[in-house]
């Protein structure tokens, strides 16, 4: 049994960590946090040069042709650094949707552009409140023209193209939904930035008015493709969350060792030690669940739907838990803008919602476990 990343993959992780420590220190994150730029363009360019954007994209489409395990280790480091770039929307959502359902021409057009950092992509699924569900898709597509409003769309304001979920039927079945690919710089698209919990990753409202769109995948297959995309993204996001959780835990640990109160390091008080121990426990559970997700993703195993839901829940909980208690360990200083604790708190809570909320994934997990037991 080798339920671990290979030495090469671990080396890649170290390489990514080193690169991000240098190119994405907290002060770079803060440039985006303070709204001076919508994302870190230099970093994005650097990630492309390192080959990280296209690590899981096949060589024939301009990528490195490595695989999803390699993408997982990079995702972990992106989360650890709280990288303020449209990595998850472009790489986990848009690129994966293209890989699953894109025509050869679509792949040839967009995947090399993603790998080289020239194109930013995203998924436009949500339309206000609610979780992923065919019945929440109201935006219509008829005769290759879209009408409707999507929000929130992650990185929608900086994206060059979007994969859009649209209603093409009214039977009440999953087959009512089809996917379309839209160039957002073209006509019929109106983009508005939304303020959001995590300013280091933008959110937007996108209105489509008689907007021309090309189909992505077969008509009526949209929901089935989306489900696969969301499962893959759930595993990849879980690695970002695990990276973020670990960083928040480290920050808390380091502060507890450094901060003296009542004449001793606060990390010598059991109330603080035990809080940090519990953070370690959730981070460890999340990492192990995510490893299983990585295995299922990389082997395209039948277990992927269940593994993805478990990784999603566990990693979401761990990142939220570690981020909030990191602030608690820091006390008053943790609640200042100046300290970085709130950056992870914001990211943790934004990520907890991005692919659908916890309660949605809890429901999915039980459905999928039942299906497996029935099979």
Partner 1 sequence: MNFDDTPQEAEFRATARAWISANAPKQYEEELRKSSLGRTVLKNADILQVAKAWQKKKADAGWACLHWPKEYGGRGASPIERVIWQQEEGPYGQLSRMFIIGHGMCGPTMMAFAREEHKRRYLPPLASGENVWCQLFSEPAGGSDVAGLRTRAEKDGDDWVINGQKIWTSGAHYSDYGILLTRTDPTVPKHKGLTMFFLDMKSPGVEVRPIKQASGASDFNEVYFTNVRIPDHQRLGEVGDGWNVSLTTLMNERSAIGAAVSTGFPELFEYCSSLILDDGPAIEDRAVRSKLANWAVKASGLKYTSMRAISALSKGERPGPENSIGKLVAGSMIQDVATYALDLQGAAGVVSGENAELAGRFQAMLLRAPGTRVEGGTDEIMRNIIAERVLGLPGDIRVDKDVPFNKIPTKGRN
Number of other residues whose CB lies within 10 A of the CB of residue 306: 23
Which CB sits closer to partner 1, 9 or 89?
A: 9
Q: How far is the CB of 306 from partner 1 (least distance, A)?
A: 9
Q: Which two tokens stand for residue 360?
A: 């949605």
- DSSP readout, 43-103? HHHHHHHTT-TTTTS-GGGTS----HHHHHHHHHHHHHHT--SSHIIIIIIIIHHHHHH--
Q: Which region among 149-157, 210-218, 224-232, 279-287 touches partner 1 (by CB under 8 A)?
A: 279-287
Considering the rule CB under 8 A, would residue 1 count as an interface residue with partner 1?
A: yes
Q: Please, what's the b/e burial string for 96-123 (b: 16 or more CB within 10 A of its CB; e: otherwise)?
A: bbbbbbbeeebbebbbbbbbebebbbbb
Q: Which residues pair with 190 in a beta bridge?
A: 207
The owner of tokens 């909030």 is: 324
Told to check if 286 binds partner 1 by CB under 8 A, we report yes
The answer for residues whose C-beta is within 8 angstroms of residue 36's C-beta and 6 or more apart is none
Candidates 298, 328, 349, 357: give the one binding partner 1 (CB under 8 A).
Answer: 298
Cβ 268 to partner 1 shortest distance, Å: 4
Binding status of residue 30 toward partner 1 by CB under 8 A: no
Tokens of 296: 């299922």
- Is residue 267 involved in binding partner 1 (CB under 8 A)? yes
Q: Say how far apart CA 98 and CA 328 lie, in whole Å.
A: 42
Q: Which is nearer to partner 1, 255 or 344 (CB)?
A: 255
Judged by beta carbon, residue 230 or residue 313, the one nearer partner 1 is 313
**Distance of closest approach, residue 236 Cβ to partner 1, in angstroms:** 15
Asked whether position 69 contacts partner 1 by CB under 8 A, the answer is yes
Q: Quickly list DSSP for 128-159.
A: SSS-S-GGG---EEETTEEEEEEEEEETTTT-
Residue 227, both tokens: 């489900």
Q: Which of 4, 34, 59, 190 binds partner 1 (CB under 8 A)?
A: 4
With binding defined as CB under 8 A, does residue 2 bind partner 1?
Answer: yes
25: left (phi over 0), alpha (psi -120 to 50) or beta: beta
Q: Does 277 bind partner 1 (CB under 8 A)?
A: yes
Instruction: For the segment 315-344, give every residue that binds partner 1 (CB under 8 A).
Output: 317
Closest CB 208 distance from partner 1, rounded Å: 33
Q: Which is nearer to partner 1, 228 or 316 (CB)?
A: 316
| The one segment of 90-98, 107-115, 223-231, 356-364 that binds partner 1 by CB under 8 A | 356-364
Q: What is the DSSP letter of 356?
A: B
| Beta-strand pair 161-167/121-124 | parallel
Please report whether residue 295 would count as binding partner 1 according to CB under 8 A. yes
Q: Which residues of 209-245 are buried (b: 16+ CB within 10 A; e: fewer)?
A: eebbbebbbeebbbbbbbebbbbbbbbbbbbbbbbbb
For residue 148, list its beta bridge partners: 208
Among 142, 261, 281, 333, binds partner 1 (CB under 8 A): 281
Q: Which stretch binds partner 1 (CB under 8 A): 83-91, 141-149, 185-193, 365-373?
A: 365-373
Q: Contact between 87 and partner 1 (CB under 8 A)?
A: no
Judged by the rule CB under 8 A, the positions of this chain that interact with partner 1 are: 1-6, 69, 249, 253, 256-257, 264-265, 267-268, 270, 272-274, 276-278, 280-281, 284-289, 291-292, 294-295, 298-299, 309-310, 313-314, 317, 359, 361-363, 365-366, 369-370, 373
């Amino acid at each position: 049994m080798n339920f671990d990343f290979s030495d090469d993959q671990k080396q890649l992780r170290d390489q990514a960590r080193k690169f991000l420590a240098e190119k994405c220190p907290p002060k770079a994150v803060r440039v985006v946090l303070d709204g001076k730029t919508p994302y870190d363009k230099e970093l994005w360019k650097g990630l492309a040069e390192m080959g990280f954007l296209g690590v899981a994209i096949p060589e024939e489409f301009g990528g490195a042709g490595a695989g999803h395990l390699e993408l997982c280790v990079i995702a972990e480091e992106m989360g650890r650094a709280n990288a303020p770039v449209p990595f998850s929307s472009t790489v986990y959502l848009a690129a994966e949707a293209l890989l699953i359902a894109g025509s050869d021409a679509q792949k040839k057009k967009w995947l090399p552009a993603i790998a080289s950092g020239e194109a930013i992509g995203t998924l436009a699924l949500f339309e206000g409140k609610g979780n992923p569900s065919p019945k929440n898709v109201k935006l219509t597509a008829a005769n290759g023209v879209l009408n409707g409003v999507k929000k929130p769309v992650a990185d929608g304001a900086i994206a060059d193209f979007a994969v859009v979920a649209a209603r093409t039927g009214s039977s009440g079945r999953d087959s009512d939904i089809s996917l379309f690919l839209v160039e957002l710089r073209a006509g019929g698209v109106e983009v508005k930035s939304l303020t959001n919990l995590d300013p280091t990753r933008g959110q937007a409202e996108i209105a489509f008015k008689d907007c021309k769109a090309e189909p992505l995948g077969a008509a009526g297959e949209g929901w089935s493709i989306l489900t696969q995309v969301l499962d893959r993204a759930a595993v990849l996001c879980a690695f970002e969350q695990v990276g973020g959780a670990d960083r928040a835990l480290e920050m808390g640990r380091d502060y507890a060792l450094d901060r003296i109160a009542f004449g001793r390091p606060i990390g010598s008080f059991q109330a603080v030690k035990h809080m940090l121990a519990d953070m370690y426990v959730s981070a460890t559970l999340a990492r192990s669940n995510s490893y299983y997700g990585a295995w299922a993703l990389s082997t395209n195993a039948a277990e992927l739907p269940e593994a993805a839901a478990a990784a999603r829940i566990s990693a979401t909980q761990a990142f939220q838990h570690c981020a909030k208690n990191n602030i608690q360990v820091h006390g008053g200083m943790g609640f200042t803008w100046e300290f970085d604790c709130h950056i992870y708190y914001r990211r943790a809570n934004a990520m907890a919602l991005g692919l659908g909320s916890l309660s949605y994934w809890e429901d999915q997990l039980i459905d999928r476990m039942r299906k497996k037991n029935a099979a």
